[in-house]
Amino acid sequence: MKFKIKKLSTQTRARTGKLETARGVIETPIFMPVGTLGTVKSLSPEEVAGCGAQIILGNTYHLYLRPGCEVIDRFGGLHRFMHWDGPILTDSGGFQVFSLARLSKISEEGYTFQSHIDGSRHILTPEKSIEVQLCLDSDISMCLDQCIQYPASRDEVAAALELTTRWAQRCFEFWEENRRPQNNLFGIVQGGMYPDLRERSAAQLAELDFPGYAIGGLSVGEPIDLMRELADFTLPLLPDEKPKYIMGVGTPEDLVELVALGADMFDCVMPTRNARTGQLFTGSGNLNIANARFREDTAPIEDGCTCYTCQHYSRAYLRHLYKARELLAYRLNTIHNVHYYLNLMADIRAAIKADEFIKFRKEFYRKRKPST
């Protein structure tokens, strides 16, 4: 994998770059739609690509439990299994074990947990996490880290970050021994809301010289200002010549702010999950398609939007589908939201290239209004 920085903003820390993977070139900054179970919910891979996706995310915890590695291995990896030939980033499974499974123990060895599906017992070690991600033939794998809730005491956070570093070393060694040329691995900086602990984590991980770095443990319930403050502090600690990924973030406003601070990659369930509850993103603010004021509205979700949904369907029709719980509602809403996020990133890249990021950001806020 090669990462080349193409343009540095003179006004902010924003930058554009090209991330070259064996399965395609990714223009950064980029948003990665989440395909938890080997599908971006409700969309075919062609539709995901049609929305402008250059890379998608898969969840190791979910795919490991169902359908299981032995099934995906028969297809030589997740790409062929799900019919997506572009790059895929997979998470380590740690966050889902922490948030979904019945976690029984965290030890030096790894996480011991019970499946949320059938209660079966499993151990997720750093080596196991990488083994599963290599079986998925992930283009970018993530190190297993210890997630921690917010708020947490300094001692708890410090212990979690030290364990995360030791696990990162084990992940790195297992990856080096077992990877194929196309498989890359990112380290994850932890340290909670304590800047000095973030600094310690970043310094420890930098020694391993990963192909890329992520910031984990943000957007876990802390106030937005604190999240951005920590990102502002932590992003410059990561090596500038490597891609910088902020995990699990965020709103369109978060993306604009975090790009300005130097972030290159994002993922979040927001565009897909909100689509399924009728929450649609537009340049002039979010709208709830169930709202009675759209009952006879012949306009598209957003004037000027080039997505398939806006090209062919009205708000009145989308409201009708949504109110009737028709399956097409989920698909059409998701197409628009994913397109909105990816188009926003394309606009951000264009603004950085023209070195007009500040002007772009001003315009973005002027147009975006509170939800209606």
Q: Just list the catalytic residues.
A: 91, 267
**Residue 101: C-alpha distances to residues 156, 185, 261, 284, 316 (Å):** 21, 24, 34, 38, 40
- Using CB under 5 A as the binding rule, whether residue 289 contacts Zn ion is answered as no
Cα(242)–Cα(235) distance, rounded to whole angstroms?
A: 11
Least CB distance to Zn ion at residue 87 (A): 25
- Using CB under 5 A as the binding rule, whether residue 49 contacts Zn ion is answered as no
Parallel, antiparallel or unpaired: strands 287-288 and 279-280 = antiparallel
- Using CB under 5 A as the binding rule, whether residue 310 contacts Zn ion is answered as yes
- Using CB under 5 A as the binding rule, whether residue 307 contacts Zn ion is answered as yes
**Residue 111: C-alpha distances to residues 107, 206, 217, 298, 334 (Å):** 7, 24, 17, 52, 34
Please identify, among the stretches 24-32, 190-198, 334-342, 351-359, the one whose residues bind Zn ion according to the rule CB under 5 A. Answer: 334-342
Q: Counting Cβ atoms within 10 Å, is residue 153 exposed (0-12), middle (13-18) or buried (19+)?
A: exposed
Q: Nearest to residue 253, comparing CAs of 132, 347, 344, 358?
A: 344
Q: Nearest to residue 144, comparing CAs of 121, 127, 120?
A: 127
Which string of x and - marks every residue 171-190 that binds Zn ion (by CB under 5 A)?
A: --------------------
- Using CB under 5 A as the binding rule, whether residue 331 contacts Zn ion is answered as no
- The one among 103, 305, 316, 346 contacting Zn ion by CB under 5 A: 305
Cα(81)–Cα(60) distance, rounded to whole angstroms?
A: 14
Q: How many residues does the chain have?
A: 372
Cα(44)–Cα(134) distance, rounded to whole angstroms?
A: 24
- Using CB under 5 A as the binding rule, whether residue 218 contacts Zn ion is answered as no
Please identify, among the stretches 92-100, 118-126, 309-317, 345-353, the one whose residues bind Zn ion according to the rule CB under 5 A. Answer: 309-317
Please identify, among the stretches 15-23, 168-176, 284-292, 303-311, the one whose residues bind Zn ion according to the rule CB under 5 A. Answer: 303-311
Number of other residues whose CB lies within 10 A of the CB of residue 142: 29
Nearer to Zn ion by Cβ, of 234 and 309: the residue is 309
- Using CB under 5 A as the binding rule, whether residue 231 contacts Zn ion is answered as no
- Using CB under 5 A as the binding rule, whether residue 170 contacts Zn ion is answered as no
Cα(202)–Cα(205) distance, rounded to whole angstroms?
A: 5
**Residues that contact Zn ion, how many (by CB under 5 A):** 5
Parallel, antiparallel or unpaired: strands 15-21 and 265-267 = unpaired
- Using CB under 5 A as the binding rule, whether residue 43 contacts Zn ion is answered as no
Please identify, among the stretches 2-10, 35-43, 161-169, 310-318, the one whose residues bind Zn ion according to the rule CB under 5 A. Answer: 310-318
Nearer to Zn ion by Cβ, of 37 and 305: the residue is 305
Nearer to Zn ion by Cβ, of 26 and 318: the residue is 318
Nearer to Zn ion by Cβ, of 134 and 307: the residue is 307
Nearer to Zn ion by Cβ, of 143 and 275: the residue is 275
Interacting residues toward Zn ion by CB under 5 A: 305, 307, 309-310, 336
